[in-house]
Each structure stands twice: as structure tokens, then as C-alpha cells.
Amino acid sequence: MSPDTQDLELLLPTEYPGLWRDMAAAIYLRLRSGGEIPGDARSHARLAMALAETVAEAIGGDTIYIPVGHFFHNDTRSRALIADCTPGTNLAEVARRHGYTPARAKQILRDWAREDFQARQGHLSLD
């Protein structure tokens, strides 16, 4: 971990699983930088651990994909890339025009398609 997560590291048990550590660190850094949740470093570290453990309890044991959320986060460049990628367009050319590598553009499009599909499927009535 980094010097920014020192307070968290002091509280983490040695047997804490690696993925839990990563989740707790990401949550902790967000809590410390966001300013929305009042508290000191130690209380943020405890909250980060509790949230990581809650996520592990809720979805632990499953193989899941967590989308990065490019489209969700309203990334202007990503939205423009997605809008310009119509059937028949040259992906490499569109990617370069928007400042992405072709591989990164494919990732963005794949993530967007997955998020879009999941959003639409969530609204289907299966009655």
C-alpha cells in the first residue's frame, strides 16, 4: 500500500485477504479525499474496513465483473467516442481522433455495451 493508507494499514489484520485490502484501500482513499464524510483518518479506516467486509459478505464467492463505469461517470471523451463508433466506422481512426489507443477504445465500448445491456435487462418484466 502507499503512505496515504498508513492509518488503514495499521488496523488491517495480517490475515486480511488481499482483495479485501484493495477494496478497503480504495474506499479509504475516497473517504479521505472526498470530504463528504466527516471523521478522522482512524474512523475512515474503520469505515473502509467495514464496507469492504460488507461487500465481501454480499457478493463474496461469486465471480463478478465490476464495470469501470466510463459511460456512467459522464466522461465527455468516452461519450464522444461511443457516439462516433457507428457500424462501419474505422475504430482505430475514431480512437485516435478522441485520444485513445484502439485497445482502450475497445475496452470503453465493451464496458459501455455491458452496462447498457445490464441496464436494459434490469427493466424487463419476466412475468
Segment 36-69, tens digit of pLDDT? 889 999 999 999 999 999 999 999 998 887 777 6
What pLDDT sits at residue 119?
Answer: 79
**Residue range 5-40, pLDDT digits in tens:** 999 999 999 999 999 999 999 999 999 998 888 999
Q: Are 98 and 77 in contact (CB under 8 A)?
A: yes
* Alpha carbon distance 121, 127 (integer Å): 14
pLDDT score recorded for residue 126: 64
Written as nine digits, the cell of 62 is 461469486
Query: Between vectors from CA 76 to CA 55 and to CA 87, what angle results, nearest 5°?
Result: 95
DSSP 8-state secondary structure symbol assigned to residue 72:
T
* Helix orientation angle between 41-59 and 18-34, rounded to the nearest 10 degrees: 130
